[in-house]
């Protein structure tokens, strides 16, 4: 007769092996799913190559007259923190996260951002002005200060380059902290 105490170590090894096999299989399936997927990015190399290098971030006018804006969300900040877009023009926002999930709303559109995936949403700002966007998904102790600003400018000024992302007046730290 087999004693129960002799079977227990084998059951523990069997269960641990099954858990390990399931974990390996799920990682393999995820890797296969992301291969060739244009909406998959490596969070560790966002700033180094591909669509989200520093020179591609911000807004750019497309040939059809629409605008594409690219942003990286990372703990406690958006890069870039301000983006100029023309009023009344469709904006295609492409955003990804470098670290943890984030979420926000812009022009009534809910945006959920997760690491490794490029989220694409479309919106349009109807009047000139500043549109402040705050992170709505808790991402750590500095979460309350995580803000993005969309600056809606007239179409003619945007097309002329008078309000490019780099020459929008920076906000002082005093006024930002007082909100």
Q: Say if residue 173's pLDDT is above 50.
A: no
With beta carbons less than 8 A apart as the criterion, state whether 148 and 83 touch: yes
Residues 10 and 65 in one domain: no
With beta carbons less than 8 A apart as the criterion, state whether 106 and 131 touch: yes
Residues 62 and 125 in one domain: yes
Residues 119 and 147 in one domain: yes
Residues 6 and 87 in one domain: no
Residues 26 and 76 in one domain: no
Residues 127 and 63 in one domain: yes
- Separation of alpha carbons 162 and 154, rounded Å: 10
User: pTM score, two decimals?
Assistant: 0.68
What average pLDDT score do residues 40-47 get? 81
Overall domain count for the chain: 2
- Separation of alpha carbons 105 and 125, rounded Å: 13
What average pLDDT score do residues 112-123 get? 91
Q: What is the pLDDT of residues 132-146, one digit of tens each?
A: 999 888 888 888 889
Residues 102 and 68 in one domain: yes
Residues 156 and 173 in one domain: yes
Task: Indicate which CATH number applies to the domain containing 126.
Answer: 2.60.40.420
Q: Say if residue 149's pLDDT is above 90.
A: yes
Q: Say if residue 128's pLDDT is above 90.
A: yes
Q: What is the pLDDT of residues 48-90, one digit of tens each?
A: 888 888 888 999 988 898 999 999 999 889 999 999 999 999 9
């Amino acid at each position: 007769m087999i004693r129960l105490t002799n079977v227990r170590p084998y059951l523990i090894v069997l269960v641990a092996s099954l858990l390990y096999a399931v974990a390996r299989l799920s990682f393999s399936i995820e890797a296969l799913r992301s291969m060739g997927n244009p909406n998959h990015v490596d969070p560790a190399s966002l700033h180094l190559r591909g669509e989200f290098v520093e020179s591609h971030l911000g807004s750019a006018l497309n040939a059809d007259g629409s605008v594409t804006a690219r942003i990286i969300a990372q703990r406690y900040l958006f890069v870039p923190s301000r983006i100029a877009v023309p009023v009344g023009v469709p904006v295609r926002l492409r955003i990804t996260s470098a670290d943890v999930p984030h979420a926000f709303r812009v022009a009534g559109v809910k945006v959920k951002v997760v690491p490794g995936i490029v989220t694409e949403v479309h919106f349009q700002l109807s009047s000139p002005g500043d549109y402040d966007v705050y992170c709505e998904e808790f991402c750590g102790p500095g979460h309350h200060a995580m803000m993005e600003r969309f600056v809606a400018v007239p179409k003619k000024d945007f097309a002329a380059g008078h309000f490019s992302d780099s020459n929008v007046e920076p906000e002082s730290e005093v006024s930002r902290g007082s909100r």
